[in-house]
Amino acid sequence: GAGVSQSPRYKVAKRGQDVALRCDPISGHVSLFWYQQALGQGPEFLTYFQNEAQLDKSGLPSDRFFAERPEGSVSTLKIQRTQQEDSAVYLCASSLGGVVSYEQYFGPGTRLTVT
């Protein structure tokens, strides 16, 4: 595709359920990032992949959050035993290179609501 795509666009989960959010980066992009955006706030970094290697997961808020990119393309962010504070928009971004100066391109986000 022409841009970064994410699915689902909207997800409602009951507290305690597990969810999986998918990100399809731009074809050929080496780097992939996940960000979390709470209502009224700027996005905050969660984790970063270079190809299939997860190089930085310092932003993951708890061990209930897990991300993978097994073949270096599609990535999945999994949240186990969802809590109300997990309600947010989850944004995925990809960039062409493996160095810090490459521009990141964002997907439309997945809005997660935990009830």
User: 19 with 75: CB under 8 angstroms?
Assistant: no
Total Cβ atoms within 10 A of residue 31: 20
Q: Does 35 bind other proteins (CB under 8 A)?
A: yes
Q: Does 103 bind other proteins (CB under 8 A)?
A: yes
44, β-bridge pairs: 36
Residues 6+ apart with CB under 8 A from 70: 52
Q: Does 101 bind other proteins (CB under 8 A)?
A: yes
For residue 115, give the nearest of 19, 14, 10 by alpha carbon.
Answer: 14
Residues 39-78 that bind other proteins (CB under 8 A): 40-45, 48, 55-56, 59
Nearer CB in complex with other proteins: 23/114: 23
Nearer CB in complex with other proteins: 82/95: 95
Interface with other proteins by CB under 8 A: which residues? 31, 33, 35, 40-45, 48, 55-56, 59, 91, 93, 95, 99-101, 103-109, 111
